[in-house]
Amino acid sequence: MIEVSHLVKEFTNEGKSFRAVDDVSFHVNKGEIYGIIGLSGAGKSTLVRCLNRLEEPTQGEITIDGVDILALNKKDLLNQRKDIGMIFQHFNLFLQKTVYDNIAYPLEIQKWPKEKIQERVHELLDFIDLKDKEKAYPSALSGGQKQRVAIARALATSPKILLSDEGTSALDPINTRMVVDTLKKTVRDLNTTIIMITHQMEVAKDICDRIAVMENGKIIEENTVENLFRAPKTKQTQNFISSLRETDVHEPALDLEKYQGRVLRLAYDDKTVGKPILSRCIKDFDVEINLISGNMNRVDVKDFGYMNVEVLGDPDQVKKALDFMKETGVYVEVLK
C-alpha cells in the first residue's frame, strides 16, 4: 500500500548539506501498524513528514495505493492529504475551539454541508468514546482525551493512512493505554494503515506489527515486533533496546557488578517458552543458575519473554551450558 524507495531528504545549513533521510526504502501493507524507532535526531520525523510532503524529499519515490506522491501538483497533493491523517506528541488542538469544532475543522475546510459535518462529528465522538465532551474546550480534557480528539480530527476525512509522531509520548500509562486502544480500534474497524514513531517500548510491543530502526537517516534493521525484541540483529538495535529497557518500569537496570558469574539475558519465544532448558543445564552441566529478573509478554497470540540469569560454575561447563541454550533456540545475550 505504501512503497518508499531510495528516499533522500537533504537539509542545507550554512552551505553544508546534510542527509536527515539517507536512501531509505520500505513498504507498509494495508491495515498494518508499522513502527519507527531510533535515537533522537535519527530522522524519524523527517521521514514521516516526507510521506505527505510536509517535507519535500530531495530524491526517491513514494507510492501510496499506486499514486506517485512526488509527481502530484499542489492541487492534487492537497486532495491526496485527505487520505493521510496525522497526530503529534503535543496534540496540536485549537485551544479556542470546542471539541466539536476541533473535529469539524477539516470538514469545514473541505466545505462539507453543516448537517453532514454534524453527523460525521457525532460519529467520531462516538468512535473515540467522548460523546459527553463535545462542548468542552481542550483545557478541560486529560492528555489522553486530547489525543483522542486529535485522532478523531485526523480521521474526520476517513484517511487511509494515519501517521503518529510520538502520539502517546506525552501521556501517563493509563492515558497511553486509552490512546493505544483507540489506535487499535482504528485499524480494526476502519482498516486504516498506521505508521507510528514511538520511543515507548511497551507501546511498540503492544501495537506494532513490524518495526523499523533508524540511525543516522537510515533504516538499519526492520523486523516483526517479536523478532526485533527477541533477537535484534545489529549492535545498535541491541543498545537501543537496552536503553529502552532501562526506562521500562517493569525492568530495573541490572547492576552487573553485583554478580560473580556469567550474566545472561535469555529471550524465548512461543517455541522455547515451555521447554525445561534451565533445569537441563543444571543437571547436565553441573552449573548453578540464579534467576535475576524476568518478564513475559503476549504479542497478539504469541508469547515471548526474557529472563536475566547468573550462571556459576566451571568455565568450560558454563560455556557448554551456554551453547546448549543456543542450540535449543533460546536467544542468548551475554551481559557479563
Ligand X SMILES: Nc1ncnc2c1ncn2[C@@H]1O[C@H](COP(=O)(O)OP(=O)(O)OP(=O)(O)O)[C@@H](O)[C@H]1O
Which residue of 41, 173, 276, 329 would you call a contact of ligand X, by CB under 6 A? Answer: 41
Give the nearer residue to ligand X in terms of CB position, either 46 or 168.
46
Tell me which stretch binds ligand X (CB under 6 A): 22-30, 40-48, 66-74, 119-127.
40-48
149, amino acid identity: V
Q: Which is nearer to ligand X, 45 or 102 (CB)?
A: 45
Query: Nearer to ligand X by C-beta: 44 or 245?
Result: 44
The answer to the question of residue 139 lying near ligand X (CB under 6 A) is no
Task: Show contacts with ligand X in window 8-37 (CB under 6 A).
Answer: 11, 13, 20
Nearer to ligand X, 22 or 226 (CB): 22
Nearest-angstrom CA–CA distance, 169 and 144? 10
Strand (E) or helix (H) holding 12: strand 2-13
Grouping H, G, I as helix, E, B as strand and the rest as coil, residue 144 is: helix
- C-beta of residue 162 within 8 angstroms of C-beta of residue 155: yes
State the virtual CA torsion across 219, 225, 230, 235 in degrees, nearest 10: 10
The span of 41-49, 62-70, 84-92, 240-248 binding Mg ion (CB under 5 A) equals 41-49
Exposed / middle / buried, residue 48 (Cβ in 10 Å: 0-12, 13-18, 19+): buried
CB-nearer residue toward ligand X: 8 or 282: 8
Residue 163 in the binding site for ligand X (CB under 6 A): no
For position 45 contacting Mg ion by CB under 5 A, the verdict is yes
Binding partner at 38 among Mg ion, ligand X, none, C-beta below 5 to 8 Å by kind: ligand X
Q: Which range touches ligand X (CB under 6 A), out of 41-49, 107-115, 116-124, 144-152?
A: 41-49
The partner in contact with residue 42, picked from Mg ion, ligand X, none with C-beta cut-offs of 5 to 8 angstroms by kind, is ligand X
| Total binding residues toward ligand X, as defined by CB under 6 A | 11
Q: How far is the CB of 52 from ligand X (least distance, A)?
A: 14
305, 304, 303, 302: which is closest to 294 by C-alpha? 305
Calpha distance 45→195 (Å, rounded): 11
Give the separation between CA 247 and CA 123, rounded to whole angstroms.
38
| 3 state DSSP class of 228 | helix
Amino acid at 310: E
Rounded-to-integer distance, Cα 309 and Cα 259, Å: 10
Measure the CA–CA gap between 327 and 333, rounded to whole angstroms.
Answer: 14
With CB under 6 A as the contact rule, the residue among 28, 34, 35, 43 that binds ligand X is 43
| Using rule CB under 6 A, residue 44 touches ligand X | yes
Stretch that binds ligand X, among 38-46, 142-150, 155-163, 221-229 (CB under 6 A): 38-46
Cβ atoms of 36 and 48 closer than 8 Å = yes
Q: Which residues bind ligand X (CB under 6 A)?
A: 11, 13, 20, 38, 40-46
Q: Which residues bind Mg ion (CB under 5 A)?
A: 45
